[in-house]
Structure 1
Amino acid sequence: MKIFITGASGFVGGAAARTLARDNEVLALSRSEKSDATIKALGATPVRGALNSIDAAMLRGVDAVVHCAAKVETWGPMKEFIEINVKGTERLLAAAKQAGVKRFVHIGTEAALFYGQAMNDLDETAPMAFASPLPYPRSKALAERAVRAANNDSFTTIVLRPRFIWGPGDQTLLPALKAMVKAGRFTWIDKGRALTDTVHVDNVVHAIKLALTQGKGGEAYFITDGGDPISFRDMMTKMAATIGLELPDKNMPGWLARGAAGLLDFIWRLTLRRSPPPIDPHTAALLSRNCTLKIDKARRDLGYEPVITRDAGIAALMQAGR
């Protein structure tokens, strides 16, 4: 199979490119010479371009697109999230259709349902947050809607919604934790009691491989480590331990964190600041609200089962960190 991947220089896209390149011809969108080198090291072929300039010629002869690229941040101007996550996805969909691509796998997120509320034992019938005040969730909801609406008899679109992706190659969570602890800015919210599902990056890649041939067109699927929620405190403490990092015991009540985040967000936007505030509304809500998801649909339609457990993944990270 000839597969075109976006976001291959990132965490999920890179893991997918490395695995898929073992048995397929993999092309990957690249914006720079640095990305070219990263993509080649994964065993894929770089295609120079960007989501804002993608065209059908780049996808000629491609059987499937795996769209991993996105602006994954918790704060910033809404228009930037819309431009990259929504319009970029719409351009890629149009180019793929024009090029005759048969399948489009989109890496979505449970955040597409999030406007700040608790999400307990949700399945895929839960409503999406098209009007979320939070930029990332709203943009991912709108992008997912475009992907699912593009499905037709000759163009199959599948959305995967992984939750709290972790594992080797993480470029976001562990580095951020380390930086916050070093700067003395790390604080638990509600003592880290909120429950969350998680998904190891190897399980995400497994789901992507399945979605290249399985699943119902126009549908979305939650992907997790198997329906075994864990508290943020337990998960983050375990992850930090894999790099020898001890998280401090400072704590802030959830109501205070959410209130402070709302006030800081207002001030930062009023004063047109570009750097994010110390805490933003998305992060404050995320870390103080449960998010537990059902994966029955992925099991039924994709044949999905996790290929690695949380405990095994943590043990492997611990071993790699020694």
Structure 2
Amino acid sequence: MKVLVTGATGFLGSHIVEAALAAGDEVRVLTRPGSDKSYLRTLPGVEIFHGDLGDPDSLLSACRGVEVVHHSAGRVEETGRRAQFWDANVVGTRNLLDAARAEGVDRMVYVSSPSVATDYVGDRFGIDESEPYVREPKSLYVETKAIAEQEVLAANGPDLLTCALRPRMIWGPRSGGWMSLLLRKIRSGRLPDLSGGRPVMVSMTYCEHAAAASVRASRSDRVAGNAYFLADAEDVDLWRFARDLATALDLTPPTRTVPAPVLKAAVTAFDTLWRLPGLAERVSPPLSSWTVAALTVSSTYDTTAARRDFGYSPSVSREEGLLRYVEWVRSVGGVPAVVG
């Protein structure tokens, strides 16, 4: 098949490109002119197309002759103005949907997030797709991703099959985002152990699993109009993972603890302070109720639907994935090169 991948210069997008090539697809990537395409140029057969989600004309050209769109581009930063998130995640997705329909694209696989249907108000295990969308999104990212996902699924019809994938905590070689942030805080010694002495069980999704899922979903008719949680085969104790990661990279694991009343007071103070106009647009708070919940609340996901409808089959173990990630970190110059 001829496929278009958005976000291909990013972490997951680059892995989707690799998975599509391995499946025998012809791959075109949508990239902005100034983006770093050095890795994509090492992949034989990739057609690099310059365009932007905010430029409808470029999207029409990018979608021309394409059968499948893998849409993984979007704004994932912690900071920014509402208009930036809205334009990147909602308007950009609308523009791409319009272009796909106009050019006769058959299918679109949208990379969403489990946060669109997770409140993190208490430990939850085996969350499935019956979970409703969050009523009070805790961030502009969650709000705009939820809107975009619902519009993608609503666009499903006879002329364009659509589905959404919700991989949790994507990790592995070439990752940035939460893994780089975790490494940065471990390296600096500023990350306390917030587990409270109990396991915080989470689902994570190795990069190759998420990428393979996007390709598999693009080949299934059963996915039409549906969203799917993705996760590795085994749930992970988040703080044990952080300790294992630190040890593997010769860093000091988090050991310092924070009394619960002190943590609660700090989170309340930061949440209040970061309501000041303009502050959240420029700087991420050291702690917030959202980030603390993500680090202290167990949340795991049931992938039965993905296994049933498109043969989702995660095969890389946590131990193997961690070895591959550590090898990659060392290959690019070690922790300093990764965290900046």
TM-score by length of 2: 0.87
The residue number in structure 1 matching 2:227 is 220
| Distance verdict in 2 for CA 1:269–1:80, change over 3 Å | farther
* Contact in 2 for aligned 1:206/1:307 (Cα 8 Å): no
**Residue equivalent to 1:301:** 309
- 1:199-238 pair list within 5 angstroms: 199-214=205-220, 215-226=222-233, 228-238=234-244
Over residues 213-257 of structure 1, what are the superposed CA-to-partner deviations in whole Å (9 max), with x where a residue is unaligned? 01320001111112x322111122223333332223122356754
Residue 149 of structure 2 is aligned to residue 144 of structure 1: yes
Q: In structure 2, what residue type is equivalent to 1:301?
A: D
Structure 1: which amino acid aligns with 2:258? M
5 Å matches for 1:265-284? 265-273=271-279, 274-284=282-292
Gapped regions of structure 1 (runs ≥ 5):
none
How far the C-alpha of 1:167 sits from its partner, in A, is 1.0
Change (3 A) 1:84 1:306: same
Match of 1:250 among 256, 260, 273: 256
Q: Are 1:198 and 2:200 an aligned pair?
A: no
Q: Where does residue 49 of structure 1 map in the other structure?
A: 51
Please point out which of 236, 258, 269 is paired with 1:263: 269
Q: 1:311 to 1:181 in 2, by over 3 A?
A: closer
Q: Secondary structure at the match of 1:161?
A: strand
1:35: which partner in 2?
A: 36
SS at match of 2:165: strand
Q: Which 10-residue stretch deviates more, 108-117 or 210-219?
A: 108-117
Q: 1:11 matched to which residue of 2?
A: 11
CA contact (8 A) 2:168 2:230 kept: yes
Q: Cα offset for 1:318? A: 4.3
Q: Which residue of 1 aligns with 2:86?
A: 82
Q: Please state whether the residue corresponding to 2:70 is helix, strand or coil.
A: strand
User: Are the aligned partners of 1:75 and 1:280 in contact in 2 as well (CA < 8 Å)?
Assistant: no
Q: Which residue of 2 aligns with 1:241?
A: 247
1:124–1:222 contact (8 Å) kept in structure 2: yes
Q: CA deviation at 1:125?
A: 0.5
**Within the alignment, does 1:61 sit opposite 2:65 as a pair?**
yes
Letter of the 1:219 counterpart: N
SS at match of 2:86: helix
Q: Is the 8 A contact 1:151 1:157 kept in 2?
A: yes
Distance in 1 of aligned mates of 2:43 and 2:181: 25
Pair 1:315 & 2:319 matched: no
Give the SS at the match of 2:208. Answer: helix
Q: C-alpha separation between the residues in 2 aligned to 1:163 and 1:219?
A: 17
Identity %, equivalent residues: 29
SS in 1 for 2:290: helix
**Offset, 1:271:** 4.8
Structure 1 window deviating more from structure 2 (3-12 vs 114-123): it is 114-123
Name the stretch that deviates more: 229-238 or 290-299. Answer: 229-238
Q: How big is the shift at 1:67?
A: 0.6
| Equivalent residues of 1:130, 1:142 under 8 A apart | no
| Counterpart amino acid of residue 196 in structure 1 | V
**1:299–1:264: structure 2 CA closer, same or farther, 3 Å change rule?**
same
Deviation at 1:321, TM superposition (A): 5.5
Q: 2:170 aligns with which of 158, 165, 181?
A: 165
RMSD value, Cα: 2.2
Structure 2: state its 5+ residue gaps: 331-340
2:74 to 70, 73, 87: 70
1:49-85 deviation per Cα after TM superposition (whole angstroms, max 9, x unaligned): 1111143122100010001112223444433322211
Letter in 1 for 2:251: L
1:2 aligns with 2:2: yes
